[in-house]
Structure 1
Amino acid sequence: MTVKICALPLLVSMTLAWQGSAFAEDILVKIGHVSPLSGPSAHMGKDTEDGARMAIDELNAKSVSIGGKKARFELVAEDDGSDPRQATTAAQKLVDAKVNAVIGHMNSGTTIPASKIYNIAGIPQISPSATNPKYTQQGFNTAFRVVANDGQLGGTLGRYAVQVSQAKTIAVIDDRTSYGQGVADEFIKGATGKSRSVTILPRQYTTDKATDFNAILTAIKGKKPDLVFFGGMDAVGGPMLKQMQQLGLDAKFMGGDGICSTELAKLAGDALGESKIVCAEAGGVEDGMKPGLEKFKGEFSKKFGHAVVLNAPYAYDAVMTVVAAMQKAGSAEPAKYLPELAKIHYKGITGNIAFDEHGDIRDGTLTLYTYKGGKRELIAVTR
């Protein structure tokens, strides 16, 4: 008797088993990202999201392996609207989604409250832009940043205002956010350091959503300041410059990285002036790193159809740094790769990335800019 064996079902079964095994070897790595995608700072929030997305796309194109398994990366993006309450809601959503890491938030005022939620969940968080020192002073081993903090940024601007700009009378305005207050506080410390003779006028306050500054600026104008320092974002700084021009308040204007964007020129119009503004970006590359950053900016513009606004390169580097830590640990599980992240040495497009015991970047750079001909122009990169 001849027994016929049908090979097709067996072959299909073996093929499906092999495919199932191969699929089981792949891992999905969820990278959370939070920034303001609505409200006045949406253009800056979208910038950081696009920077993170560019990194995700590149990682997937490279077929990265973690622990011998091919990793597929997914960006899980949330909008915090620059609002602390919305930020904590977004943070909890990412925790519930079981993300492996978080890049964000953009503002200090949203980063700080959200960091508590990520810390409780044990999920590493790298902010590409939050500069308030309090963020990394909470004792959370999950909190990191890839830019210098306000102590460095505000202090440098304060010293520059007195030593270089030769300001004698300075008006200070902040928007009452964690970022705005923090950078203004540090600016004053830098400007009024030992052996400096400078007068700081009574501090003025606005909000991050204000559009009318006439009362504040009129009060300041009567005191004839040489310089106005604003702690806040470009969406407020631009209109403020316009109203300064309308009131005939002829003073230099200074601010931190919140105003130091390509968008400020559009928001301020001809009130931008020539070399009237000095601002500092919490980061920046020295000569040897410039070609890599310029290459990134060109590819970014081609991919998204708009130029880098401010923080996209830092969001990109934050993603690449956390993935480098996962590869070193051989795992995307937060508890397993967190120790590697804390001691990482990663060469990013924005410079060498390593963290101190608090999660602050070591030897962080600052870049001073002014504006000429409607465009941002480099003054110097400093540490």
Structure 2
Amino acid sequence: MEQKAKVKMLRQMLIGATAIMSVAAATDAMADQTVKIGSVEPLTGGIAHLGKDNENGARLAVEEINAKGLTIGGQKITLQLEGLDDAADPRTATQVAQKLVDDKVVAVIGHLNSGTSIPASKIYSDAGIVQISPAATNPAYTQQGFKTTYRVVATDAQQGPALAAYAQSKGLKSLAIVDDSTAYGQGLANEFEKKAKALGLKVVSHDATNDKAVDFRAILTKIKGENPDAIMFGGMDATGGPFAKQAKQLGLRAKILAGDGVCTEQLSDLAGAASENVVCSQAGAAMEKMPGSAAFVTKYQQRFGQGVKFNAPFAYDSVYILVDAMKRANSTDPAKILAAMPATDYKGVIGETTFDSKGDLKHGVISLYGYKSGKKTFLDEVKM
């Protein structure tokens, strides 16, 4: 009897242990799965304010999605945003990209600059990870043959010509061009120059500076002697602001034309009264023209205690576009997310997003702005 009792007790213990293991396995299956998403932009340096705006937009989307609850393939998902600083530097960008790959992110929202997005894109492509840039506008970014590159803004091949067409429409017949030697600034300036010449406008000079420059008086003095109707500046607001300010100080009469890198609320602080002489483009719809802008601006202000600088709504929608692909793939596997991306048709804050075979928007929009009393003011919209 004693032996039988021992056997019975052992059986009961084994059954109990098996039950505990089953419950533990079931509980583990129901536990949240953490899914990492990368976010890369310059968080230090002269355009850190634009980078932080970008990251804030992505973070707001991640926090909202987690608060609502996300289930993919029967698994509860918690998104984790891994925000990293590439300092707007191409070499740093590739190092950061490799870190995100090593950290097993399923996709990346970024980078901000064309000059960092392009070199980083090969690393993401080699890893089979989706990259959605909320800001990179150089056409070359999506022309490398990679299946992983996407963007939610128009390109410089659209933005440059829109600025040139504006110059023609305003009777600006002679033009000087200055770029900051970056992939973005140089690419935008080149696209502008091609279109300007095609329209019969006279390009009197094309000079180069760099994205760290603070003194433009030598170039501007030379341009003053050329007496153009307008100067097209390819670069960011950290250099574009001082450029416009020094042009005014030197008494240049020329209008300053610039792209989306200059077209920020910050420009009036950087250029002072000279911002009134600037007309700039934005590779996307104006905030007031975006379908979901009012609600987004309110949420952003409440969460971060400041207004939107520029790219936040594009980064915000990029996260939702990524999650939409996860849902359609019913998976968080990077390869399956990538396979779902081409069929994207998402309606968000910035409007409807659909992609062509290269990962560019099918219907790009260019917005033109001026500055009045220190405020960025919408002028016109060009649909491409």
Settle same-fold status: TM greater than 0.5.
yes
TMscore range, shorter length = over 0.9
Please list the CA deviations of residues 225-276 of structure 1 after superposition, one character each: whole Å capped at 9, or x if unmatched: 1111100000001111111111111221111100011111111112222xx2
Counterpart code for 2:353 = I
Q: Which one of the candidate residues 256, 259, 262 is aligned to 1:259? A: 262
Distance 1:302 1:215 in 2: 45
1:361 is aligned to: 361
> Quick one: distance in 2 between partners of 1:365 and 1:145?
13
CA–CA separation in structure 2 for the residues paired with 1:177 and 1:126: 20
Once residues 171 and 40 of structure 1 are traced to their aligned partners in structure 2, the CA distance between those partners, rounded to angstroms, is: 25
Residue 203 of structure 1 and its aligned partner are, at CA, apart by 0.7
Q: Tell me which residue corresponds to 2:304.
A: 304
* Residue 74 to residue 232, structure 1, CA distance change in 2 (3 Å): same
Q: Is the 8 A contact 2:290 2:351 kept in 1?
A: no
Q: Which runs of 5+ in 1 are unaligned?
A: none
The aligned amino acid for 1:284 is: A
- SS of equivalent residue, structure 2 residue 49: helix
Q: 1:50 is matched with which residue?
A: 56
TM-score normalised by length of structure 1 = 0.93
Task: Using the TM superposition, name which of 244-253 and 14-23 deviates more.
Answer: 14-23
SS at structure 1 position matched to 2:39:
strand
Q: Give identity over the alignment, percent.
A: 50
Q: Which has the higher mean CA deviation after the structures are superposed, 339-348 or 84-93? A: 339-348
Residue identity matched to 1:186: E
Given that 1:132 and 1:179 are in contact with CA atoms closer than 8 Å, whether structure 2 keeps it comes out as yes
The residue that corresponds to 1:277 in the other structure is 278
Partner deviation per Cα, 1:12-35 (whole Å, 9 max, x = no partner):
996886465334333221110100
8 Å CA contact 2:291, 2:349 repeated in 1: no
**CA RMSD of superposed structures (Å):** 2.2
Pairwise CA distance, 1:302: 1.5
For residues 116-155 of structure 1, the aligned pairs below 5 Å read 116-155=122-161
The whole-number CA distance in structure 2 between the counterparts of 1:201 and 1:339 is 48
Query: Map of 1:201-240 to 2, 5 A cutoff?
Result: 201-240=204-243
Which residue of structure 1 lines up, in the alignment, with residue 166 of structure 2? Answer: 160
One-letter code aligned to 2:280: C
**Which shifted more, 105-114 or 246-255?**
246-255
**Structure 1 residues 223, 71: CA separation in 2 closer, same or farther (over 3 Å shift)?**
same
Q: Any conservation in 1 of the 2:142–2:359 contact (CA below 8 Å)?
A: yes
Give the Å deviation of 1:197: 3.4
User: Secondary structure at the residue paired with 1:201?
Assistant: strand
Name the amino acid aligned to 1:296: F
The SS at the match of 2:331 is coil
Query: How far apart, CA to CA, are the structure 1 residues paired with 2:185 and 2:160?
Result: 10
Alpha-carbon distance in 2 for matches of 1:263, 1:150: 22
Give the TM-score normalised by the residue count of structure 2: 0.93
Alignment check: 8 A CA contact 2:110 2:133 kept? yes
Rounded Cα–Cα distance in structure 1 between residues aligned with 2:302 and 2:182: 34
TM-superposition CA deviations, 1:158-203 (whole Å, max 9, x none): 111112x21111110000000001100111122222xx33211221
Q: Which runs of 5+ in 2 are unaligned?
A: none
> Are the equivalent residues in 1 in contact too, given 2:285–2:381 (CA < 8 A)?
yes
The structure that has the greater radius of gyration is 2
Deviations 1:343-373 (A, max 9, x none): 1101111011111001101101111111111
Q: For 1:45 and 1:16, how far apart are their aligned partners in 2? A: 47
Alpha-carbon offset, residue 381 of structure 1: 2.0
